[in-house]
Structure 1
Amino acid sequence: MKLGIVTHSVIKGDGQGRVNYEIAQEAIRRGHHVTLLASQVAPELQQSEQVNWVPISVKQWPTELLRNLIFAFTSADWLHKNRTQFDLIKINGAITRASGDVNAVHFVHSSWLKFTSSKAQTNSAKTTQSRRFLYNFYQWLYTVLNASWEKEAFRRARVVVAVSSRVAEDLQAIGVAPEKIRVIVNGVDLQEFSPGNIPRSQWGLPEGVPLALFAGDIRISRKNLDTVLKALVQVPDLHLAVAGITEGSPYLQLAEDLGLSTRVHFLGLRRDVPELMKAVDFLVFPSRYEPFGLVVIEAMASGLPVITASATGAADLLTPESGIVVADSDDVEALAKAMFLLGSDRHLRQNMGQAARTIAEQHSWTNMAQHYVDLFEELKQ
């Protein structure tokens, strides 16, 4: 089979990029030829005789919106000229203006747009909006445009792959026929993310206290660090490590205003999250909207119990024995109760962490990639 994959990056250190990296590797293992229309490709894939890389350079453009537009039109132009070379084309969302046979959906912009217009979301973002009006307008415009483009992309695809049942529901809500949707859950590197113990001192974190981890983009309200901080006020013995870019984030000031400066440890953007997960006691990640949430399954693979919200797609993986799912992302009381429970019971954390690891072991990247390539081969028949 001659397979074309259109994506920005095909590398291990990127969520969507890692998905496509593993798919490409599995296709190669099965003897297929893969053409990658991408800006960045892992060196080992470039060296394969079964891989053809069509570079699309967009880094010279100043904003993500412009970069995505240039990528979309450049890739579409190339595909229009070369489409007959392929048995099947896989794309992601509205990444290209050309049609794809399989469209893998990692984010439904229409659903997030509905969230941003809700009262709860508006209230939670007031501080950010008042301080960074232009940034928030740009984010809104980016979402609106993608919401329109992706509907057309989904309509043209033969099969639309959702990364969680949550995404499948969102797709149906915007008119994608249920029979057109397949759910293939994202995977995790079970070697990179594994149970262990590392001293906290290398991050300047306190020993001998219960320590939770929050990891995500803390410049935006969607990840919901504000509710975590408000809940933390009610759990006085618990400390929180926060991994995420601090520049432009309103939450450092919020932590100070809430009197949490000594218990919240902002670590900045981290490239050592697998190691950091070996130093904490559990993950708290009640995102307001999360199609999947790789950090959830990564924590599970690391043997950590997880507190998340039903709005997070990866919440489907959790059982009552492996974590806690709160119904409402903005329910401070419910979140505080869950954080207190895990923070105060070491034995419970250990049992939940073991159960979480067992679940994660069923979702390796290889297993995920096999499902994708099985689908491709099915469609080619």
Structure 2
Amino acid sequence: MRPWVIVAGDFVRTGGMDAANHALASWLARRGTETHLVAHRVADDLAALPGVHVHAVPRPLGSHTLGFPLLDRWGRGVARMLAGRDPVVVANGGNCRAGNVAWLHYVHAAYAPEVRGQPVRRMMAIAARRKALRDERAVARRARVVISNSGVTNRHATDLLGADPKSAHFVYYGADAERFRPPSAAERVEARRALGWNDARPAVCFVGALGDRRKGFDTLFAAWARLCAEPAWDARLVVAGAGGELEAWRRRAAEAGLGDRIAFLGFRSDVRQVLWASDALAAPTRYEAYGLAVQEAVCCGLPALVSERAGVAERIRGPLRNLLIPDPDDAVDLAERLRTWRGSMEAHRTAALALSDALRARTWDDMAAEMRAIILREEGA
């Protein structure tokens, strides 16, 4: 049996690509495949599985940018070590030029972020993106198999990166059906109590970093300010996420008189608790290759107001499609869609519960099995 080498920054259960890599590696190891992980960090439960070989890569100063070339170097080294056994080498994006499989979770060529903060930080971000553009194009064109996490990312792989359409496929993420599920009545009450909510006001949550404008929080803030000017609007907005602009947004909310209408929670390790306490999710993202946080929210039974351009929007169906956001820069339209949700909360909740059942039926193991079948078929193994 051919060994597998997966090159990724982190193999942990949190985050989008981190959770996906953890799931693929775990499934391979549990099936008896010799699995080599080239990474900065690997969860203890995964590292302990028989057949897993961890090749620990330093992350200088905790910097992803400084650690990126080391992942490539270590990954190429492990691939050379196993060359006589014809390994399957999975690169995540452009992180390893030895990859005969490219797994795309994000396409830098599809979006140029507007980075805020200190000039040095902005310059480093620009330089890092330029390198990422070169690397992901090189890996996508070289790979024998390119797997994306959505249909839109698959199109970006061929149209923007130059991947061969015959080698390009997309495989949706799976779901952690036990962890992200609709809460019981008691669990919902406890989640709201833990956040200090002692009333019945509905809550809309936003989950994402506040370091640049990709997630569209600026549009949501403008829409929320418009809604809060209406006497009938009674919902609270809950923001789970950190980043360089967090304090600036807190100041803007206070200056706009929205200090008691928007709760900034900062980074949260208990995102499920926030979802269980909430009634809807707003994600007016300007670019999202997939959107695992949106999927997790729907799995918890929340209607999602998400951009049509996000990969996960391909999986939204039925009455929930009227909440999809056509233009993430249009705060007026977003405010109207929030009013639509508020005016028929129960109907949207019922639709979200039905979609939750469908999404949770596809597990991470299903994703991993589908990926392996495609890769081995395309490689003729």
CA distance in 1, matches of 2:311, 2:181: 22
Structure 1 partner of 2:214: 222
CA distance in 1, matches of 2:168, 2:103: 10
Deviations 1:95-130 (A, max 9, x none): 12x3212110001111113xx4xxxxxxxx5xx74x
Pair 1:240 & 2:232 matched: no
Structure 2 partner of 1:111: 110
Aligned match for 2:253, one of 233, 252, 255: 255
Deviations 1:236-265 (A, max 9, x none): 322100000155433223323433211000
Structure 1, unaligned runs of 5 or more: 117-124
1:172 is matched by which residue type in structure 2?
T
Structure 2 partner of 1:308: 306
Deviations 1:178-215 (A, max 9, x none): 21211001122111111112342311346221210000
Pair 1:70 & 2:56 matched: no
CA distance in 2, matches of 1:110, 1:246: 23
Q: Aligned-pair distance for 1:320?
A: 3.6
Q: Aligned-pair distance for 1:147?
A: 0.7
Within 5 Å, which residues of 2 pair with 1:1-381? Answer: 1=1, 2-58=3-59, 60-61=60-61, 63-96=63-96, 98-113=97-112, 116=113, 129=116, 132-174=118-160, 175-196=162-183, 197-199=188-190, 200-205=192-197, 207-236=199-228, 237=233, 238-245=235-242, 248-249=245-246, 250-323=248-321, 324-378=323-377, 379-381=379-381
Q: Is the 8 A contact 1:211 1:241 kept in 2?
A: yes
Deviations 1:295-354 (A, max 9, x none): 110011001100011221111111142352111111111110111121232322322221
1:311 is matched by which residue type in structure 2?
R
Q: Aligned-pair distance for 1:380?
A: 4.9
CA distance in 2, matches of 1:220, 1:83: 41
SS at match of 2:90: strand
Q: Is the 8 A contact 1:203 1:267 kept in 2?
A: no
1:14 is matched by which residue type in structure 2?
G
Alpha carbons of structure 1 residues 180 and 377: separation in structure 2 relative to 1, 3 Å: closer
Q: Is the 8 A contact 1:205 1:265 kept in 2?
A: no
1:104 is matched by which residue type in structure 2?
W
1:135 is matched by which residue type in structure 2?
R
CA distance in 1, matches of 2:62, 2:300: 37
Count of matched residue positions in the alignment of Structure 1 and Structure 2 = 366
Deviates more, 1:74-83 or 1:349-358: 74-83
CA distance in 2, matches of 1:38, 1:296: 26
1:23 is matched by which residue type in structure 2?
L
Q: Is the 8 A contact 2:319 2:348 kept in 1?
A: no
Alpha carbons of structure 1 residues 246 and 170: separation in structure 2 relative to 1, 3 Å: closer
CA distance in 1, matches of 2:15, 2:348: 29
Q: Is the 8 A contact 1:281 1:349 kept in 2?
A: no
CA distance in 2, matches of 1:20, 1:8: 9
TM-score by length of 1: 0.90
SS at match of 2:75: helix
CA distance in 2, matches of 1:111, 1:99: 23
SS at match of 1:57: coil
Alpha carbons of structure 1 residues 20 and 63: separation in structure 2 relative to 1, 3 Å: closer
1:154 is matched by which residue type in structure 2?
A
CA distance in 1, matches of 2:342, 2:126: 37
CA distance in 1, matches of 2:90, 2:301: 33
CA distance in 2, matches of 1:29, 1:77: 25
Q: Aligned-pair distance for 1:18?
A: 1.5
Structure 2, unaligned runs of 5 or more: none
Alpha carbons of structure 1 residues 380 and 178: separation in structure 2 relative to 1, 3 Å: closer
SS at match of 2:180: coil
TM-score by length of 2: 0.90
CA distance in 1, matches of 2:31, 2:374: 13
Structure 2 partner of 1:121: none
Q: Aligned-pair distance for 1:233?
A: 1.9
SS at match of 1:245: coil
